[in-house]
Amino acid sequence: MNIHEVAVEVEKAILVGVVLPKDRRWEVDEYLSELQQLAATAGVEVVDQLVQDRQRLDPATFIGSGKVEELQQMVNAYQAKAVIFDEDLTPAQIRNLEKAIKAKIIDRSTLILDIFAKHARTRTAKTQVELAQLQHLLPRLTRQWTHLSRQVGGIGTKGPGETQLETDRRLIRTRIETLRRELARIDLQRQTRRKGRQESFRASLIGYTNVGKSTIMNLFSGAEVLVEDQLFATLDPTVRQVPLDSTHTILLSDTVGFIRKLPHQLVESFKSTLDEAVEADLLLHVVDVSHPAFHEQIQVVNEVLKEIGAAQKPVLMVFNKIDRLKEKTMLPSLKRQYPQAVFISATRQIRTEKLKQELVRFMEKNFVKTTVKIPLTHAGLVNQIYGMAVVLQQKYTEHEIILTFKSTAVNRDKIRYLVDSASAGNGGCVIC
Ligand SMILES: Nc1nc2c(ncn2[C@@H]2O[C@H](COP(=O)(O)OP(=O)(O)OP(=O)(O)O)[C@@H](O)[C@H]2O)c(=O)[nH]1
Ligand SMILES: [Mg+2]
**Could you list the pLDDT tens digit for every one of the 432 residues in the chain?**
444 444 445 589 999 999 999 999 888 999 999 999 999 999 899 999 999 999 999 999 999 999 999 999 999 999 999 999 999 999 899 989 999 999 989 999 999 999 999 899 889 999 999 999 999 888 887 655 444 444 443 333 445 566 777 888 888 999 999 999 999 998 888 887 776 665 678 899 999 999 999 999 999 999 999 999 989 999 988 999 999 998 888 999 999 999 998 888 898 888 888 888 888 889 999 999 999 999 999 999 999 999 999 998 999 999 999 999 988 888 998 999 999 999 999 999 999 999 999 999 998 888 888 999 999 988 889 988 888 888 889 999 998 999 999 888 778 888 999 998 887 755 444 444
- Atom 3 of ligand 1: nearest residue by CA position: 321
Q: Is the CB of 237 under 6 A from ligand 1?
A: no
> How far apart (Å, rounded) are the C-alpha atoms in residues 281 and 259?
23
Are both 3-114 and 200-362 of the same fold? yes
Planar angle of CA 11, 101, 148, nearest 5 degrees: 70
Q: DSSP 3-state assignment of 192?
A: helix
Give distance in angstroms: CA of 238 to centre of ligand 2. 10
**CATH of the domain spanning 200-362, picked from 3.40.50.300, 1.20.1440.60, 3.40.50.970, 2.40.440.10:** 3.40.50.300
324 CA: nearest ligand 1 atom: 1
Q: Is the CB of 345 under 6 A from ligand 1?
A: yes
pTM over 0.85: no
Q: Is the CB of 233 under 6 A from ligand 1?
A: yes
Q: Is the CB of 403 under 6 A from ligand 1?
A: no
Q: Is the CB of 119 under 6 A from ligand 1?
A: no
The DSSP code sequence of 198-212 is TTSEEEEEEEBTTSS
Fold (CATH) for 3-114: Rossmann fold (3.40.50)
- Atom 13 of ligand 1: nearest residue by CA position: 212
Give distance in angstroms: CA of 202 to centre of ligand 1. 22
Q: Is the CB of 214 under 6 A from ligand 1?
A: yes
Planar angle of CA 270, 209, 357, nearest 5 degrees: 100
Biggest CA–CA distance in the chain, Å, is 91
What is the model's pLDDT at position 199? 62
What is the model's pLDDT at position 163? 75
Inter-axis angle of helices 123-137 and 108-119, nearest 10: 160
- Atom 23 of ligand 1: nearest residue by CA position: 234
Q: Is the CB of 205 under 6 A from ligand 1?
A: no
Give distance in angstroms: CA of 301 to centre of ligand 2. 15
What is the model's pLDDT at position 79? 93
346 CA: nearest ligand 1 atom: 31
- Pairing label, strands 82-85, 238-243: unpaired
Residue ranges per domain, the chain?
A: 3-114, 120-193, 200-362, 367-424
The answer to whether 48 and 74 are in contact (CB under 8 A) is yes
Q: Is the CB of 297 under 6 A from ligand 1?
A: no
- Pairing label, strands 249-254, 238-243: antiparallel
Give distance in angstroms: CA of 148 to centre of ligand 1. 38
230 CA: nearest ligand 1 atom: 24
Give distance in angstroms: CA of 209 to centre of ligand 2. 7
Q: Is the CB of 211 under 6 A from ligand 1?
A: yes
Q: Is the CB of 343 under 6 A from ligand 1?
A: no
Half-sphere exposure of 398 (CA within 13 A, CB side): 0
233 CA: nearest ligand 1 atom: 24
Q: Is the CB of 69 under 6 A from ligand 1?
A: no
The answer to whether 217 and 225 are in contact (CB under 8 A) is yes
Of the candidates 213, 211, 204, 341, the one whose C-alpha atom is nearest the C-alpha of residue 288 is 211
Q: Alpha helix (H) ranges present in 123-163? A: 123-137
Q: Which residues, 6 or more positions from 250, have their beta carbon under 8 angstroms from its beta carbon?
A: 200, 201, 202, 203, 241, 242, 244, 359, 363
- Choose which residue among 227, 273, 294, 349 to substitute to test ligand 1 binding: the one with the highest number of ligand atoms within 8 A of its C-beta: 227
209 CA: nearest ligand 1 atom: 25
The answer to whether 2 and 114 are in contact (CB under 8 A) is no
